[in-house]
């Protein structure tokens, strides 16, 4: 009889285990934490598959002789050593640095001036803002093709306009001296609307009471701009400078469309990302291109850290 009771208790406990597991799973499935993780699961999978894995694997490839369809052979740091002695790499680095800093020096002041003009309370000012922002939402390749026609030395409209005021024909994209400058002018024209819009948002966030108090104290327009406007928009200026450096070192489509895959003429439009593309997808040197990608990453990281260190001296937060 005792044996029968023990067997019954064992059977009851065994049957209760699935019910307990089912209850625990039900509590987990209905918990807020589980539902939250379920919602972010696609993002996590996407980050792992499309970001974390490619970044990690490209780091491994940068130490190999990886090619398309071929076995990767371990080279150690040979790719990085070869880059330091690669003449085209230094050309590309010089051109990229020139493009980055020249475009920032042109775009930021011009965009600030436009933002100050667009910040006026005038009838129809929204239409002017839309026209200035229109190039930003236009395809960059389409804009590059259009500017290629504008820069044409034979029948381009820019040379036609310059001829009217007595300026001789400029070769623009066909001359090494002016090819990169031509790309800088075009990219400044296209990106100025976006920079202007961000400056405009920063200007409209400044309380009017500051300007009213300054006017009461007798401050003129320049002093109000120097001591109120510039300090209060300095966080936005810093943000745009950081974005400008990061975007400048990633320039590709303009250089490729207007200068070709080889960065002509005479490598004057060869940029770091264009050289990476040429090595990886034209010469199929995936390991060498991966090493170049990490060199670009280190350069951008160092320059961004320098900017964050220096911003303490001139950026003012409310």
Residue 27, token pair as written in the block? 């509590």
pLDDT confidence bin for 310, thresholds 50/70/90: very high
pLDDT tens across 117-143, in order? 999 888 889 899 999 999 999 999 999
254 contact partners, CB below 8 Å, separation of at least 6: 140, 144, 183, 186, 187
Residue 68, token pair as written in the block? 């398309």
pLDDT at position 12, please? 45
pLDDT mean over 10-39: 62
Q: What is the mean pLDDT of the chain?
A: 89
pLDDT mean over 76-97: 95
pLDDT at position 73, please? 87
pLDDT at position 264, please? 82
The answer to whether the peptide bond before residue 254 is cis (omega within 30 degrees of 0) is no
Which element (helix H / strand E) includes 69? none
Q: What DSSP line would sit under 188-240, residue for residue?
A: HHHHHHHHHHHHHHHHHTS-HHHHHHHHHTT--HHHHIIIIIHHHTHHHHHHH
Query: Which of 30 and 147 is assigned the larger pLDDT?
Result: 147
pLDDT at position 197, please? 94
Beta bridge partners of 74: 64
pLDDT confidence bin for 22, thresholds 50/70/90: low
Q: Report whether 278 contacts 255 (CB < 8 A).
A: no
Q: Which CATH superfamily is domain 86-314 in?
A: MetI-like (1.10.3720.10)
pLDDT at position 71, please? 75
**Distance separating alpha carbons of residues 253 and 258, to the nearest angstrom:** 8
Q: Is the pLDDT of residue 215 over 70?
A: yes
pLDDT at position 69, please? 67
Q: Is the pLDDT of residue 2 over 50?
A: no
Question: pTM for the complete prediction?
Answer: 0.86
Query: Which of 174 and 22 is assigned the larger pLDDT?
Result: 174
Query: Which of 38 and 20 is assigned the larger pLDDT?
Result: 38
% of residues, the chain, pLDDT over 70: 90
pLDDT at position 33, please? 75
pLDDT at position 21, please? 56
pLDDT at position 199, please? 96
CA distances from 211 to 198, 201, 206, 217 (A): 20, 17, 9, 10
Between 53-61 and 286-314, two packed helices, what is the crossing angle to 10 degrees? 120
Tell me the H-state helices in the chain: 2-29, 32-47, 53-61, 78-84, 87-118, 125-133, 140-150, 157-164, 179-204, 208-216, 221-224, 230-232, 234-248, 253-259, 272-277, 286-314
């Amino acid at each position: 009889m005792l044996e029968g009771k023990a067997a019954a208790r064992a059977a009851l406990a065994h049957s209760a285990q699935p019910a307990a597991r089912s209850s625990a799973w039900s509590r987990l499935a209905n918990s807020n934490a589980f539902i939250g993780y379920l919602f972010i699961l696609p993002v996590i999978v996407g980050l792992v598959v499309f970001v974390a894995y490619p970044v990690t694997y490209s780091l491994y490839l940068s130490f190999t002789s990886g090619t398309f369809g071929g076995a990767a052979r371990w080279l150690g740091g040979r790719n990085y050593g070869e880059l330091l002695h690669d003449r085209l790499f230094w050309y590309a680095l010089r051109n990229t640095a020139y493009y980055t800093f020249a475009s920032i020096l042109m775009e930021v002041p011009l965009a600030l001036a436009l933002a100050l003009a667009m910040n006026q309370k005038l009838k129809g000012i929204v239409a002017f803002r839309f026209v200035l922002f229109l190039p930003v939402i236009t395809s960059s390749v389409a804009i590059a093709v259009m500017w290629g026609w504008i820069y044409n030395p034979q029948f381009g409209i820019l040379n036609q306009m310059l001829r009217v005021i007595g300026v001789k024909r400029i070769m623009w994209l066909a001359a090494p001296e002016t090819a990169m400058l031509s790309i800088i002018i075009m990219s400044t024209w296209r990106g100025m609307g976006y920079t202007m819009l961000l400056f405009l948002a920063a200007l409209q966030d400044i309380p009017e009471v500051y300007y009213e108090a300054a006017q009461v104290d007798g401050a003129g327009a320049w002093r109000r701009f120097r001591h109120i406007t510039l300090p209060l928009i300095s966080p936005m200026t810093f943000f745009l400078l950081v974005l400008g450096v990061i975007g400048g070192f990633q320039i590709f489509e303009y250089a490729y469309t207007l200068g070709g895959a080889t960065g002509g003429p005479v490598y004057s439009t060869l940029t770091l990302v264009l050289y990476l593309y040429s090595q990886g997808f034209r010469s199929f040197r995936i390991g060498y291109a991966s090493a170049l990608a990490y060199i670009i990453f280190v350069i951008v990281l160092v320059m961004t850290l320098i900017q964050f260190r220096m911003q303490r001296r001139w950026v003012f937060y409310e």
